[in-house]
Chain A
């Protein structure tokens, strides 16, 4: 919090605020379904004409898949600030963040300190960072206690699972049952390649998530980064009938048609916007998708708001 306020008090922050206002209009352009304006003739600091050209966004823009930096990274603090600055520029109001361990499988101490750092991030960037509690399901009772603590006491909004276990392994089930009890979503790392991914032997894919969704129809599952490098057409088709799985549009891939196919196959109500640190890719592919303004609003934040609204007291 203090860091943000310090930044906002600095002369540079005025430029940033003005730029943010400009780029909220970019989001407005996204939400308005209008073609992205040509950057021709628009210099930094000369943005007002663009800002005034589009409708203002009606709802929040929420990045459903973001990460704060692990503190072993020397530049973690500056890099966290850069993430918020990038969100400012792109008109992203809130980022749902987890902090991941640099090595997997995560140890108990490893994910515990990550969650402390995410809680610290929420304090440093009030109103901007929402927290996912990251656990390794293999720690059983300790993992469940961690989730209860961070969702109950620290206001985290969901659970982040990575690749320690495939999501259909029984060790994951108590986590899913707790998520249902608490009414929070699980963002699950996922990808599907047509070869064995040696460094992620327990990688979850859309088919696994569909199976988990059938077992737990009340669970709110989010399939991470459909544009994260795997065969997104396979993933989208695998999840067609898994109605309690939302698809996170994040990832570095910007394949033309990916968001459009996802909307056509699973329905726009099941798409949630994310970047996973690929910022312009994340926003740009929603800009480019052939969706109505109303549907873009749902993807950019409305659908995530709906998931977060199901949290139980």
Chain B
């Protein structure tokens, strides 16, 4: 089973997205033989009130829960986030979160964020964090949102050893403790591969060697990205078939309890 842990629905404020409805994303997934995808609201990245995006997402995915796994976007500095978290899990059946600390202007180490992560962990929710949304060099003149420094993620995973994190849209983990062998960090995070190299520097191969294939997950970033580069990485990756199966979907299935 192929599971994409890095997909989106809805509109993004700064660029038109194609294949951004449930029906069109499923058609794209069918054409690429991707069985399931974890999706969150692209609109919620820039909505002031992200819960509106979660409501749209819940409605859009309602008839497709066998294949589309919704994750909620929560901003721990926005009024009522505790209510939103409760509604997302108990009413919408959402099992995980996506956090945008740079876009929503808060620190991962702030008390509010810690409180939210603790609450989500209490609810057994997985927390995914896109290191970036898009390449900052193509940013709009309206804003300048940096990537999340990996040092901040190091502190995050240390501070929340019982929480499960999936890191999306990142690279250069091998230059950080996150991607090093025997790094002393809790094994509570997995790394998604859409921006990692499978050739030349072959960061995916290095992460498999350093952390184990259990810690790497397939993801595309669609519909922001073409899914094909990520699929191609899996195809050319030099590792054995059991490892590829873990990356393709087994790891995600285990984490998401599918």
Q: Which residues of A come within 8 Å of B, CB atoms?
A: 23, 26, 35-44, 46, 79, 82-83, 85-86, 89-90, 191, 193-195, 229-233, 252-257, 259, 277, 279-281, 283-285, 287-289
Contact = CB atoms under 8 A, between A and B. Distances in A.
Interface stretch (B10-18, B45-53, B70-78, B100-108): B10-18
B258 interface: no
B138 A44 contact: no
Nearest to B16: A257
Interface of B is mostly: loop
B2 interface: yes
Contacts of B135: 229, 252-253
Contact of A43 (B16, B223, B236, B241): B241
A200 to B, nearest CB: 11
Contacts, number: 126
A194 B141 contact: yes
Given A38-B2, A252-B195, A280-B236, 5 more contacts: A229-B137, A231-B138, A281-B229, A283-B229, A285-B226
19 contacts: A35-B33, A36-B228, A36-B232, A39-B231, A40-B33, A41-B241, A43-B241, A44-B241, A89-B236, A191-B137, A194-B140, A195-B141, A252-B135, A255-B226, A256-B222, A280-B198, A283-B232, A284-B226, A287-B229
Contact of B232 (A195, A253, A256, A284): A284
Given A39-B244, A229-B135, A256-B17, A280 B141 contact: no
B199 A82 contact: yes
Nearest to A194: B141
Nearest to A260: B18
Nearest to A232: B138
A35 B231 CA distance: 11
B230 interface: yes
The A interface, classified by DSSP as helix, strand, loop or mixed, is loop
Contacts of A85: 199
B182 interface: no
B198 to A, nearest CB: 6
Given A256-B224, A279-B200, A280-B198, A39 B229 contact: no
Interface in B1-57: 2, 15-19, 31-33
Given A35-B32, A283-B232, A277 B225 contact: no
Contacts of A195: 139, 141, 144
A136 to B, nearest CB: 24
B216 to A, nearest CB: 14
Contacts of A193: 137-139
Query: 7 closest pairs, A vs B, by CB?
Result: A284-B229, A288-B226, A229-B137, A38-B33, A288-B228, A287-B228, A86-B199
B164 interface: no
B141 to A, nearest CB: 4
Contacts of A283: 229, 232
B170 to A, nearest CB: 13
Contact of A44 (B17, B227, B240, B248): B240
